A and B are shown apart, each in its own frame.
Chain A
Amino acid sequence: MNMLGKSFLGIMLSLSCAVSVQAADTLMMATTTSTQDSGLLEFLNPIFKADTGIDLKWVAVGTGKALEIAKNCDADVLLVHAPAVEKKFVEDGFGIDRRQIMYNDFVIVGPKGDPAKIAGKSTADALKAIYDTKSGFVSRGDKSGTHNAELKLWKASSLTPDKESFYISAGQGMMATLAIAAEKGAYALTDRGTWIKFDNKQGNANPLKIVVEGDTALFNQYSVITTNPKVCPNVKTDLAAKFEDWWVAPETQKKISEYTLEGKQLFFPNAGK
């Protein structure tokens, strides 16, 4: 082997030995995609680090998977948004110290032509109209918080669209789901943050618009939970307690309300309320 081959092997070897050093005060969080994709976590993380000295690492997945990760003891804390599922998670003994920290809201978006004529209706009436007119509807279909919320809304209207041909189960993230709805001229339920980003990217070419909003049924609550240390002894309880206290602290709550996307406030703090 000549010089080039040797230097190639040399590079490979030196890379292999460059093992990253783990900081002692690292907290592992499993969270939902909306907190990451909206940019909120990147905004708050440096503040959290400065306030507590804790290195926060996170994996952003659907709420369902996030809870599953915590059940397997692979995360110390959770930041998720599916209250009913979370309460069951805590009742089943997998989590402790669930505290609500903030909310935002869901909106139903659809084609600008609004084929099912649902603009301005209540959520329940809107879903019924979509169902009756067989207008396309794209579901996340991934057990995420948004998917859970959507299922709850269908259930509240006593409708089961699951097997209907107009109902598209995407199995993807929010942004991808909106892209599918735009391509297919279908309706979708989305969190407002992802919608603002999507709308901004599409500009005037956006074939979708908000058709239903402001209904109390579209309220979207976020909470933090600590993985139960009795089930998972590896959980860093002291750091997790600091994490939870930090989220509900008045200064943090103020910071949450200061975060904007394209000039619009995304999350509304409501700790202790």
Chain B
Amino acid sequence: MGYFSDGFQNAVGLLLHMDDATTSAISATLTSTGCALLIALTLGLPVGFLLGYTQFPGKRFCRLISDTLLAFPTVLIGLIVYVFITHRGPLGQYGLLFTIPGMVIGQAILALPIVISWTAQAVENLDSRCRETLLTLGASPVQVALLCIKEIRYDLGMVCVTAFGRVVTEVGVAMMLGGNIRYSTRTMTTAISLETSKGEFAQGIALGLVLLLIAFVINLLMAWFRRKGRLA
């Protein structure tokens, strides 16, 4: 049990006097997660909305694929992207392996199915009578679509924080594509992994607690979005 009490003490110490290594790991974590999320939202929100909003042949199959990809193992994403961005790979000339942009690619792929599936789900959960009523009241299709987006705005907030939580806590992609390079691509999770392999369990737990604190803030936001959604 000594590991936990030591770990807790270390965590408090880390938060009080942020050393370079910890600040760098936190900033690498937030930078890569932020960029990955931005890409995933830009691509995923429109696709998810169209997937939930429109009717077309093969729609159910598309949903099935997107839902299956929710279970995409992070190490497999890491491996596939690795093969593409290594210097010998098709995208090798950009030198992306072991850099933050390289990690961002993998993490965006990880977040994309979450954004698409959850957005589509939110649109499908809208009361269908609402759409019919709007149409009978003479709203144009564009107006209907805009009102639907307005209706699910708090669900979209949930989509953001869920995807953020998934990406910020993953270790497979960050380790394979980032390479856990000190002061560069070392994130909170790869740092924990390293401390464990060094046998520095207390330090690993301390970093884990800091990451949990970040997750706690995310969950505060999620609770806030949920309450908003219920009140709206």
Interface residues of A (CB under 8 A from B): 1, 4-5, 8, 11-13, 15-16, 18-20, 22, 28, 33, 36-37, 42, 57-60, 71-74, 173, 175-176, 197-198, 201, 232, 234
Binds A, one of B12-20, B73-81, B95-103: B95-103
Among residues of B, the one whose C-beta sits closest to the C-beta of A200 is: B199
- Is the CB–CB distance between A72 and B86 below 8 Å? yes
- Is the CB–CB distance between B31 and A18 below 8 Å? yes
Interface residues of B (CB under 8 A from A): 27, 30-31, 34-35, 37-38, 86-89, 92, 95, 97-101, 153, 157, 179-182, 184, 194, 196-199, 221, 224
Q: Of A12, A58, A175, which is within 8 A of B38 by CB?
A: A12
- Is the CB–CB distance between A28 and B87 below 8 Å? no
User: What is the distance, in angstroms, from B183's C-beta to the closest C-beta of chain A?
Assistant: 8
Q: Give the docked Cα–Cα distance between A33 and B194 (Å).
A: 10
- Is the CB–CB distance between A20 and B31 below 8 Å? yes
- Is the CB–CB distance between A74 and B31 below 8 Å? no
Question: Known interface pairs A73-B87, A73-B92, A175-B197. Does A20 touch B100 (Cβ–Cβ under 8 Å)?
Answer: yes
Question: Known interface pairs A72-B87, A73-B92, A197-B199. Does A57 touch B181 (Cβ–Cβ under 8 Å)?
Answer: yes
Question: Known interface pairs A16-B34, A37-B198. Does A60 touch B87 (Cβ–Cβ under 8 Å)?
Answer: no
Main SS of the interface on chain B? helix
- Report the 6 A-B pairs with minimum CB-CB distance, sorted nearest first: A73-B87, A15-B34, A59-B179, A72-B86, A173-B197, A16-B34
Among residues of B, the one whose C-beta sits closest to the C-beta of A2 is: B228
Return chain A residues, CB-CB under 8 Å to B179.
59
For this complex, 14 residue pairs linking A to B, each with C-beta atoms less than 8 Å apart, are: A13-B38, A16-B31, A19-B101, A20-B100, A22-B99, A58-B182, A59-B180, A60-B180, A72-B88, A73-B86, A74-B86, A175-B198, A197-B198, A232-B87
Beyond contacts A57-B181, A58-B181, A73-B88: 8 other A-B pairs, Cβ-Cβ < 8 A, are A1-B153, A11-B34, A12-B37, A18-B31, A19-B100, A19-B101, A72-B88, A74-B98
Q: Give the docked Cα–Cα distance between A57 and B180 (Å).
A: 10
Q: Give the docked Cα–Cα distance between A138 and B228 (Å).
A: 55
Return chain B residues, CB-CB under 8 Å to A37.
197-198
Q: Give the docked Cα–Cα distance between A59 and B92 (Å).
A: 18
Return chain B residues, CB-CB under 8 Å to A175.
196-199
- Is the CB–CB distance between B181 and A74 below 8 Å? no
Return chain B residues, CB-CB under 8 Å to A22.
99
Return chain A residues, CB-CB under 8 Å to B101.
19
- Is the CB–CB distance between A12 and B34 below 8 Å? yes
Q: Of A11, A74, A176, which is within 8 A of B87 by CB?
A: A74
